[in-house]
A and B are shown apart, each in its own frame.
Chain A
Amino acid sequence: MTKDGKFDFSRRSLLRAGAATGLVAATPTFFMRNAFGAEFRNNPGNASEVKLGFNVPQTGPYSEEGKDELRAFKLAVKHLNGEGDGGMLNTFTPSSLKGNGILGKKVSYATGDTQTKSDAARASAKRMIEKEQVLMISGGSSSGVAIAVQSLCQEEGVIFMAGLTHSNDTTGKDKRRYGFRHFFNAYMSGRALGPVLEKEYGKERRAYHLTADYTWGWTQEESMKDTTEQLGWQTVATVKTPVGAGDFSQYITPVLNSGADVLILNHYGKDMINSLTQAVQFGLRDRQANGKNFEIVVPLFSRLMAQGAGDAIKGILGSTNWNWSLQDEGSQAFVKSFGAEYGAPPSMAAHTCYVQTLLYANACEMAGTFYPPEVIKALEGFKFDGMGNGPTEYRAEDHQCFKDVLVVRGNQNPTSQFDLLQVVEQTPRSQVEYDWKIFGGELGPYKV
Chain B
Amino acid sequence: MDAIFLQILNGLDKGAAYALIALGLTLVFGTLGIVNFAHGALFMLGAFCAVSLNKLMTLSTKVEDTSVTLFKAYKEQPYLEIWFPDMGHTLIEYSVPLSILLAIPVMILVGIAMERGLIKHFYKRAHADQILVTFGLAIVIQEVIKAYFGANPIPQTAPEILSGSADIGSWLGLGQNVVYPWWRIVYLLFSGVVIFGVFAFLQFTTYGMVVRAGMRDRETVGLLGINIERRFTLVFALATIVAGLAGVMYTPVLPPDYHMGMDFLVLSFVVVVVGGMGSLGGAVLAGFLLGIIQSFASMTEVKAVLPGIDQIVIYLVAVVILLVLPRGLMGRAGVMDD
Contact B253–A278 (Cβ < 8 Å): yes
* Bound Cα distance A305, B154 (Å): 10
**Given A240-B303, A277-B255, A286-B164, 10 more contacts at CB 8 Å?**
A247-B17, A247-B254, A250-B299, A257-B175, A281-B165, A307-B152, A308-B152, A332-B70, A339-B72, A418-B68
Interfacial chain A residues near B311, Cβ < 8 Å: 213, 242
Contact B165–A282 (Cβ < 8 Å): yes
Contact A237–B151 (Cβ < 8 Å): no
Those of B255-287 within 8 Å (CB) of chain A: 255, 257, 259-260, 263-264
Contact A283–B65 (Cβ < 8 Å): no
Asked if A310 lies at the interface with its beta carbon under 8 angstroms from chain B, I say yes
* Bound Cα distance A278, B155 (Å): 11
Asked if A414 lies at the interface with its beta carbon under 8 angstroms from chain B, I say yes
Those of A300-337 within 8 Å (CB) of chain B: 304-305, 307-312, 332, 335-336
Instruction: Using A249-B13, A281-B163, A416-B65 as known contacts, say yes or no to A305 and B71 having CB atoms under 8 A apart.
Output: no
Instruction: Using A247-B14, A254-B299, A415-B75 as known contacts, say yes or no to A312 and B155 having CB atoms under 8 A apart.
Output: yes
Contact B295–A311 (Cβ < 8 Å): no
Interfacial chain B residues near A250, Cβ < 8 Å: 7, 10-11, 14, 294-295, 298-299, 310
* Bound Cα distance A281, B10 (Å): 13
Contact A244–B71 (Cβ < 8 Å): no
Contact A309–B255 (Cβ < 8 Å): yes
- B positions within 8 Å CB-CB of A: 2-3, 6-7, 9-11, 13-14, 17, 65, 67-68, 70-76, 146, 150-155, 157, 163-165, 175, 177-181, 183-184, 252-255, 257, 259-260, 263-264, 294-295, 298-300, 303, 308, 310-311
* Bound Cα distance A64, B258 (Å): 12
Mind listing 9 A-B residue pairs with CB under 8 Å? A61-B151, A239-B303, A240-B303, A242-B310, A250-B310, A253-B10, A281-B252, A307-B152, A310-B155
Q: Summarize A's interface: helix, strand, loop or mixed.
A: helix
Contact A251–B298 (Cβ < 8 Å): yes
Asked if A136 lies at the interface with its beta carbon under 8 angstroms from chain B, I say no
Interfacial chain B residues near A311, Cβ < 8 Å: 155, 157
Contact A64–B152 (Cβ < 8 Å): yes
The answer, among B70, B76, B183, B259, for a CB contact under 8 Å with A339, is: B70
Asked if A448 lies at the interface with its beta carbon under 8 angstroms from chain B, I say no
Asked if A424 lies at the interface with its beta carbon under 8 angstroms from chain B, I say no
B90 to chain A, nearest CB (A): 17
The answer, among A64, A249, A277, A417, for a CB contact under 8 Å with B155, is: A277
The answer, among A246, A253, A415, for a CB contact under 8 Å with B6, is: A253
Instruction: Using A239-B300, A254-B3, A254-B300 as known contacts, say yes or no to A335 and B73 having CB atoms under 8 A apart.
Output: no
Instruction: Using A64-B150, A310-B157 as known contacts, say yes or no to A257 and B177 having CB atoms under 8 A apart.
Output: yes
* Bound Cα distance A299, B108 (Å): 44
Instruction: Using A256-B177, A282-B181, A345-B70 as known contacts, say yes or no to A270 and B253 having CB atoms under 8 A apart.
Output: no
* Bound Cα distance A336, B126 (Å): 58
The answer, among B6, B146, B308, for a CB contact under 8 Å with A256, is: B6
Contact A305–B75 (Cβ < 8 Å): no
Interfacial chain A residues near B150, Cβ < 8 Å: 64
A284 to chain B, nearest CB (A): 9
* Bound Cα distance A110, B84 (Å): 52
The answer, among B6, B11, B73, for a CB contact under 8 Å with A418, is: B73
B324 to chain A, nearest CB (A): 26
A328 to chain B, nearest CB (A): 13
Asked if A397 lies at the interface with its beta carbon under 8 angstroms from chain B, I say no
* Bound Cα distance A283, B155 (Å): 17
A366 to chain B, nearest CB (A): 30
* Bound Cα distance A339, B73 (Å): 10
B54 to chain A, nearest CB (A): 11
A269 to chain B, nearest CB (A): 9
* Bound Cα distance A257, B1 (Å): 10
Asked if A361 lies at the interface with its beta carbon under 8 angstroms from chain B, I say no
Interfacial chain B residues near A251, Cβ < 8 Å: 298
Closest 9 CB pairs of A and B: A339-B71, A310-B155, A416-B73, A283-B165, A250-B298, A308-B153, A253-B6, A416-B65, A63-B151
Of the candidates B2, B152, B164, the one having the most CB atoms from chain A within 10 angstroms of its own CB is B152
Interfacial chain B residues near A63, Cβ < 8 Å: 146, 151
Asked if A232 lies at the interface with its beta carbon under 8 angstroms from chain B, I say no
* Bound Cα distance A284, B257 (Å): 25
Contact B14–A253 (Cβ < 8 Å): no
Asked if A344 lies at the interface with its beta carbon under 8 angstroms from chain B, I say yes
Instruction: Using A63-B151, A257-B177, A307-B152 as known contacts, say yes or no to A419 and B2 having CB atoms under 8 A apart.
Output: no
* Bound Cα distance A62, B11 (Å): 29
B76 to chain A, nearest CB (A): 7
Those of A225-250 within 8 Å (CB) of chain B: 237, 239-240, 242, 244, 246-247, 249-250
The answer, among A254, A310, A419, for a CB contact under 8 Å with B65, is: A419
A20 to chain B, nearest CB (A): 63
* Bound Cα distance A281, B253 (Å): 8
Over the window 279-296 of chain A, the binary record of Cβ atoms lying under 8 Å from chain B Cβ atoms (1 yes, 0 no) is 001110010000000000
* Bound Cα distance A415, B71 (Å): 14
Those of A340-394 within 8 Å (CB) of chain B: 340, 343-345
Contact A283–B181 (Cβ < 8 Å): yes
Asked if A265 lies at the interface with its beta carbon under 8 angstroms from chain B, I say no
* Bound Cα distance A309, B165 (Å): 18
